[in-house]
Amino acid sequence: MKIKLITIDFWNTLFDSENGFARNQYRLNSLKSEIEHLGYKITEEKFNPAIEASWGYFHNIWRNEHRTPSTVSTVEFLFDFLKLPKKPEIIENVAEAFGDCIIYHPPNLLPGVKEALEKLSSDYPLGIVSDTGFSPGKTLRKVLYDAGIYDYFSEFSFSDETGFSKPSKESFLAILDKFEIEPQESLHIGDIEETDIVGAKKLGMKAIKFIGDKTGVFVSKSNHTMADAVCENWSDIVQKVNEIDTKIS
């Protein structure tokens, strides 16, 4: 049984986490601009713990409910934390700015990704299976396009669009079902053991754990993994995919 489909994670697998400070400053400036209309001002000293708390709110839902709250929902939490009045139009404007900041301050494409995708896409259909944060799937598509790798992918499963985050099987099946491919005929590449690897393996997929991006917040400190292979760079991934495919054929 050969591999008929490869799905790939977005954050810390294709892209790093760099430019986070610049994105945070963009969010602060956009919030400042919007709440001035309400007669409020905010300092960086108040904003930073509020952003940290909003990520805590996000992570709690992501980890425990296996979904990701919408950008609007997270911004509403931020406004509650800062005791700001929640005017719907202001909330929407801030949420849009928070999501779009990645376009103006994008993460970096990791070394070797483009060359590897070119090789892999010549042999397999490729899909994205990604959990989203402040930036929704529609914005991450633009990041993929601007980086010159969008066209390598045939289908996309973003948690804000499916309503499920990894390790939920629905995150993966959103793509597998479109191709009418069984989990045993597919392989997932991602960096987080508890979401990418556990989710894929429990469904019956093959999995490669990518540990080459040290900027990731969730870099595993343990050598234990359910993955079929562990890779530190993208040239190794191409080789490992071929080895796994040959082994199961």
pLDDT confidence of residue 215 = 78
> What average pLDDT does the segment 208-217 reach?
87
Nearest to 130 by CA among 121, 139, 122: 139
d(CA 56, CA 75): 12
Residue 235 three-state SS: helix
- Residues 6+ away with beta carbon under 8 Å from 56: none
Q: Is the pLDDT of residue 218 over 90?
A: no
Residue with tokens 């000293």: 45
Q: Per mean pLDDT, which range of 23-37, 108-122, 157-171, 173-187 is the poorest?
A: 23-37
Q: Which CATH class is domain 5-17+107-248?
A: alpha beta
Q: Which pLDDT tens digit goes with each residue over 9-42? A: 999 999 999 998 999 999 999 999 999 888 899 9
pLDDT confidence of residue 220 = 59
Find out whether 228 and 204 touch, Cβ atoms under 8 Å: no
**Structure pTM?**
0.94
pLDDT confidence of residue 113 = 98
**Maximum C-alpha span of the chain:** 66
Q: Which pLDDT tens digit goes with each residue over 111-159? A: 999 999 999 999 999 999 999 999 999 999 999 999 999 999 999 999 9
Q: Which pLDDT tens digit goes with each residue over 35-85? A: 988 889 999 899 999 999 999 999 999 999 999 999 999 999 999 999 999
pLDDT confidence of residue 38 = 84
Per DSSP bridges, beta strands 126-130 and 5-8 are parallel
pLDDT confidence of residue 1 = 61
Instruction: Express as a percent the part of the chain with pLDDT over 90.
Output: 89
- Residues 6+ away with beta carbon under 8 Å from 224: 193
pLDDT confidence of residue 37 = 82
Q: Is the pLDDT of residue 221 over 60?
A: no
